[in-house]
Amino acid sequence: MKKIALLFWALTTGMLAKAQQTVYAENFESNVAYVSDAYMYSFAPSTKAGTWNGGVNLKTDGDAKINLRQGWGNGFLLKIEFKGAAVTIPNINVAGFTNLKLSYEFVVEDEGDAVVPKIEASIDGGASWVTLPTVASGAGWNRDAKSVALPSGNYKTISLRMNANTLSANAIMFDNFVITGTK
């Protein structure tokens, strides 16, 4: 009996050590106050430096405006207008983790068709980017949970860039970015 208990303990301890752990999480709230459903905040990302819940400041090219839309209760979504500025989360610390995965929620605004979001990853501080293999969302206002593997390899930081929808005139929205990995 002791051997079975010891074997069970060894197996479960080993499995738990390899379980996915949250490495990074961002809900796009940045310490903005709730006003009302569908309210839109618009600001240069530099004005919210140091206030993002994930601890990494969001960026846009040339400090272009970023939009946070309130919706679905008192939550916030990162809204990127049709052909709007891409939003980057630079240099997320993932040192010591492998098997990295990104999960997120995705919404297409209005009665738009399904859209495949273009999310890119960089493991060299933004010098080069690879497009992640994302899948289409449902049609307009259909909030979908998605998950995608991040590039494999031994790197210390990863940057993520969310690009605008360029195929139709509908804005896209992201929420609850979570990176998990194994230690």
**Does 43 or 4 have the greater pLDDT score?**
43
> What CATH class is the domain 21-182?
mainly beta
SS (H, E, C) the chain: CHHHHHHHHHHHHHHHHCCCEEEEEECCCCCCCCCCCCCEEEECHHHHCCCCCCCCCCEEHHHCCEEEEEECCCEEEEEECCCCCCEEEEEEECCCCEEEEEEEEEEECCCCCCCCCCEEEECCCCCCCEECCCCCCCCCCCCEEEEEECCCCCCCEEEEEECCCCCCCCCEEEEEEEEEEEC
Could you give the CA distance from residue 131 to residue 83 in angstroms, rounded to a whole number? 17
Q: Tell me if 123 sits within 8 A of 155, measured CB to CB.
A: yes
Domain edges within the chain: 21-182
How confident is the model over 19-48, as pLDDT tens digits? 999 999 999 998 888 898 889 999 999 999
pTM above 0.85, yes or no: yes
How confident is the model over 137-158, as pLDDT tens digits? 877 788 889 999 999 999 999 9
Query: How would residue 74 be classed by pLDDT, with cut points 50, 70 and 90?
Result: low
Could you give the CA distance from residue 123 to residue 141 in angstroms, rounded to a whole number? 32
pLDDT number for residue 160 = 98
